[in-house]
C-alpha cells in the first residue's frame, strides 16, 4: 500500500523503515488536520499519532482523496471520529498494547523524582551545592496509591507498586479479578480517591472520563496528595488543578500528557515564547514535573508499535480479520 505517515520524527522513520513489510511510505513532519489533509491525494492509507486530528471534516477529505484505511500507531483513538470513519467504510486500526511496562515504569519514575527530588539534587550538585535542605521525601512503603484504570498499563503499574510495598486501591468499570486476588482493593471512584497518598491515571479518554479530575474530585483527595497522569491530558481539568496546587490541596503533580499538548509536545520552543499560559503556569510550580509524552518511548515499545502497525496493514491488504479494529 501507499501510506502517508503524519507527525513523524527521525525515530519514527528509523523504526518504520526497519520493520516495513513492503509498503511505500511517505513521511510528513506535519500533523494531519483539515489544512494538511490535501497531502493524502493518491494514498491508500494514513498512519497517525496521538495529536493528529481526524474529525468528520478530515475524514470526508480523506475519503474524497481515495484513502481506504486509517492506522493509528498508538493505543488511544479519542482523536478519531470512529463512527464517521465507519460510515465511510474506512476501518480504524490501532496498536492496543505496546510494552505497557514502558508507560507504567515512566509513571513510577515521575513519582520517585517528585518524591525524592532527584532532579533538583542533580542540579544542586552540579553547582557545588551538597545541601539536603528542602529535599526531604517520604517512604512509598505502606502508602496508599489509587490506580484509576487497570487495563494493560494500569495492571503493569500495580505490579510495580507491589514491589514497593504500597497499599493499592483501584477503580475500573471492569475490575481485574487477577489483581483483586493479589490484594488490589477495588471501589468506587470516590472510595478509591479518598485518603490516597498518590493517584495515578491509566484510563482512556472518553466522554465519560474527560475532566475526571476536576474541582469536585480534587476535594476528595488527601491534602498534599500526589497526582500522576501518563494517560491522556484531557482526563484533567488543568485550570482546576492549578487552583488545587495554589491552595496546597495538591502537593505534587507529575504529567507526561497535557490537555493542550497538540501544539507543544514533540516540538522545540527553547528559543521561543511558549504559546500556552496554562502550561507556563504549571512549569512555574516547584512541585510540578512535566515530561513531553515520552512514557511510551523505549526501544521495546517502538519495535512493537512498528511490528503491530504493519501487521494491521498486512491484515487489511490480505482481507484477513482485523483484530485491532476500533469498534464503533
pLDDT tens profile 224-250: 999 999 999 999 999 999 999 999 999
Residues annotated catalytic, as ranges: 232, 261
What mean pLDDT value characterizes the chain?
96
Q: How far apart are CA 158 and CA 184, in angstroms?
A: 8
Distance CA 91, CA 95 (A): 14
The number of helix segments (H) and strand segments (E) in the chain equals: 12, 12
Output the pTM of the full model: 0.91
Average of pLDDT values for 41-64? 96
Residue 97, pLDDT score: 82
Each residue's pLDDT tens digit, 155-187? 999 999 999 999 999 999 999 999 999 999 999
Position 256 pLDDT exceeds 90: yes
Predicted confidence at residue 199, as pLDDT, reads: 98
Residue 246 phi/psi, 5° resolution? -65, -35
What confidence tier does 34 reach under pLDDT thresholds 50, 70, 90? Answer: very high
6-28 pLDDT per residue, tens = 999 999 999 999 999 999 999 99
Give residue 263's pLDDT: 84
| Percent of the chain's residues with pLDDT above 70 | 100
> How do residues 124-142 score in pLDDT, each as one tens digit?
999 999 999 999 999 999 9
262 confidence band (pLDDT: 50, 70, 90):
confident
Question: Per-residue pLDDT for 216 more than 90?
Answer: yes
pLDDT per position as a tens digit, 88-107: 999 999 998 888 999 999 99
Q: Phi/psi of residue 297, each to 5°?
A: -85, 75
The pLDDT value given to residue 224: 97
Of all residues in the chain, the percent with pLDDT exceeding 90 is: 95
The residues spanned by each domain of the chain are: 2-98+299-317, 100-290
Question: What number of CA atoms fall less than 13 Å from residue 167's CA on the CB side?
Answer: 9
Measured CA angle at 147 (ends 146, 153), to 5 deg: 160
Model confidence band, residue 4 (pLDDT cutoffs 50, 70, 90): very high
Task: Identify the pLDDT of residue 35.
Answer: 96
User: Position of cell 478519531?
Assistant: 80
Task: Please name which of 237, 231, 168, 242 lies closest in space to residue 202, comparing C-alpha atoms.
Answer: 231
Task: Check if CATH label 3.40.50.720 holds for domain 2-98+299-317.
Answer: yes
What is the pLDDT at residue 201?
Answer: 98
DSSP 8-state code for residue 133: T
- CATH H-level, domain 100-290: superfamily: NAD(P)-binding Rossmann-like Domain (3.40.50.720)
Does the fold of domain 100-290 match that of domain 2-98+299-317?
A: yes
> Would the pLDDT of 55 be above 90?
yes
Region at 228 (left for phi over 0; alpha for psi -120 to 50; beta for the rest): beta
Please classify residue 192 by burial: count the beta carbons closer than 10 Å to its beta carbon, then call 0-12 exposed, 13-18 middle and 19+ buried: buried
Using an 8 Å Cβ cutoff, are 232 and 205 in contact? Answer: yes
pLDDT in the model for residue 53: 95
Rounded mean pLDDT, 43-71: 97
Amino acid at each position: 500500500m501507499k501510506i502517508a505517515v503524519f507527525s513523524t520524527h527521525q525515530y519514527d522513520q528509523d523504526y518504520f523503515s526497519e520493520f516495513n513489510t513492503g509498503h511505500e511510505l511517505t513521511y510528513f513532519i506535519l500533523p494531519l488536520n483539515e489544512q494538511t489533509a490535501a497531502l493524502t491525494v493518491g494514498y491508500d492509507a494514513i498512519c497517525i499519532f496521538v495529536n493528529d486530528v481526524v474529525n468528520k471534516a478530515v475524514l470526508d477529505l480523506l475519503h474524497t482523496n481515495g484513502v481506504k484505511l486509517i492506522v493509528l500507531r498508538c493505543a488511544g483513538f479519542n482523536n478519531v471520529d470512529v463512527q464517521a470513519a465507519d460510515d465511510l467504510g474506512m476501518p480504524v486500526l490501532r496498536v492496543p498494547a505496546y510494552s505497557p511496562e514502558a508507560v507504567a515504569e515512566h509513571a513510577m519514575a515521575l513519582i520517585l523524582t517528585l518524591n525524592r527530588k532527584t532532579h533538583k539534587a542533580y542540579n544542586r550538585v552540579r553547582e557545588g551545592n551538597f545541601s539536603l535542605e528542602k529535599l526531604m521525601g517520604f517512604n512509598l512503603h505502606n502508602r496508599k496509591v489509587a490506580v484509576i484504570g487497570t487495563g494493560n498499563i494500569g495492571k503493569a503499574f500495580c505490579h510495580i507498586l507491589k514491589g514497593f510495598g504500597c497499599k493499592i486501591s483501584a477503580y475500573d468499570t471492569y475490575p481485574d479479578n487477577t489483581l483483586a486476588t493479589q490484594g488490589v482493593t477495588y471501589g468506587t471512584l470516590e472510595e478509591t480517591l479518598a485518603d490516597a497518598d498518590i493517584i495515578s491515571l491509566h484510563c482512556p479518554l472518553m466522554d465519560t472520563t474527560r475532566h475526571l479530575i476536576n474541582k469536585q474530585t480534587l476535594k476528595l483527595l488527601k491534602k498534599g496528595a500526589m497526582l500522576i497522569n501518563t494517560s491522556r491530558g484531557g482526563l484533567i481539568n488543568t485550570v482546576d488543578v492549578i487552583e488545587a496546587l495554589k491552595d496546597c490541596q495538591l502537593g505534587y503533580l507529575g504529567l507526561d500528557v497535557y490537555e493542550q499538548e497538540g501544539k507543544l509536545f514533540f516540538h522545540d520552543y527553547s528559543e521561543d515564547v511558549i504559546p500556552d499560559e496554562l502550561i507556563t503556569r504549571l512549569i512555574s510550580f516547584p512541585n510540578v514535573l512535566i515530561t513531553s509524552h515520552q512514557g511510551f518511548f523505549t526501544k521495546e515499545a517502538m519495535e512493537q508499535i512498528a511490528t503491530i502497525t504493519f501487521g494491521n496493514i498486512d491484515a487489511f491488504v490480505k482481507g484477513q480479520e482485523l483484530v485491532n479494529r476500533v469498534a464503533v
